[in-house]
Amino acid sequence: MNNQLTLNQQIGQMLFCGFEGTRLLPSTEKLIREGYVGGLILFERNFESPQQLWELMCEVQDCALSVPPHLPLLISVDQEGGRVARLGSPFTRYPFPCAIGKSQSESLAYRFGQALARELRAVGINMDFAPVLDVHTNPANPIIGNRAFSDQPSEVARLGYSFIKAFREEQILAVGKHFPGHGDTHLDSHLDLPRVDRDSESLENLELFPFVETIRQGLDIIMTSHVIYSAWDEKFPATLSPKILQDILRKRLGFQGLILSDDMDMKAIEDYYEFESLPSLGVNAGVDMFLFCHAFEKIERFAKQLEQDVRTGAVSEKAVQEVSNRVLEKRKALPSVPEVPPDFESFRESHQKLADEMAGYLG
């Protein structure tokens, strides 16, 4: 499929980054035109209003369609509900996802996913870094907590699937995170490198279970965790572990979708691994797309290092081609930006009613 793309353009498919501005700035346009990115992630810094965001998405995708491979970019955001919601009013302010767990309602999980997806779709976003499929097994966890649906793996799996089903029907890509499970950590991977020292059987039954079930039901994209699981790999966090991504996720669980890293700027990676080693470690572990949320300037540096790794044989060109093909397949199926500006008034009342219903389960 990508025989007409240069090595640089194939590598570009593997890079996912944040960017500055509420309009398409020359720096972002350069990344797109020179083929350095396959996807972009939005933050508060990119958002003023739904109208402005829709216009920005039109600019971004028009630019992407004008250059090889002439496909729309993956455009994502962290919009989970609760404290992780990058897009403010008039996007609906939903409660923490743990409200869904307290309701034990597949219908509510589905309706939440449907409403959230429709708001994103209206402005041209085609992907959300949700749902959290972590099981909240550690009350002292500083980063997951009420972002998780439940402390029961079967409930996380059941409710997570209903959420994902709604996203699929609305043509928005859901990203299950953080594989193989961030729920039992006592450190925040933004700040340090956490460890989970459960035995293998416990990891299987608790952390892994929601991913096993949602993969079986067709989950498209999985985000890795920057966490060491000592029973499986004492040396590398999941993001850089062939044992976890290749042996467990690909071979044993049969996952065929995209593997996306968590933010490579986090201290769990930045403080423990040399930057120049990351492309070869990540690709050889099995990562398809590398996420850089804030360090915009690292994208070209990462791409050039990966190109050098291919030239020296540290990474096989075939591996890059296979990853590029997987990303291109996803980009080929992306919906276009809506032709008309978003009309949030059309669903404001019904979505707020849903948010209030969810909040009712939190007491």
Q: Known catalytic residue: 226? A: no
Q: Known catalytic residue: 262? A: yes
Q: Buried (b) or exposed (e) across 310-345, using 16+ Cβ within 10 A?
A: beeebbeeeebbebbebbbebbeebeebeeeebebe
User: Catalytic one among 78, 134, 220, 262?
Assistant: 262
User: Catalytic one among 188, 190, 192, 247?
Assistant: 190
Active site residues: 190, 262
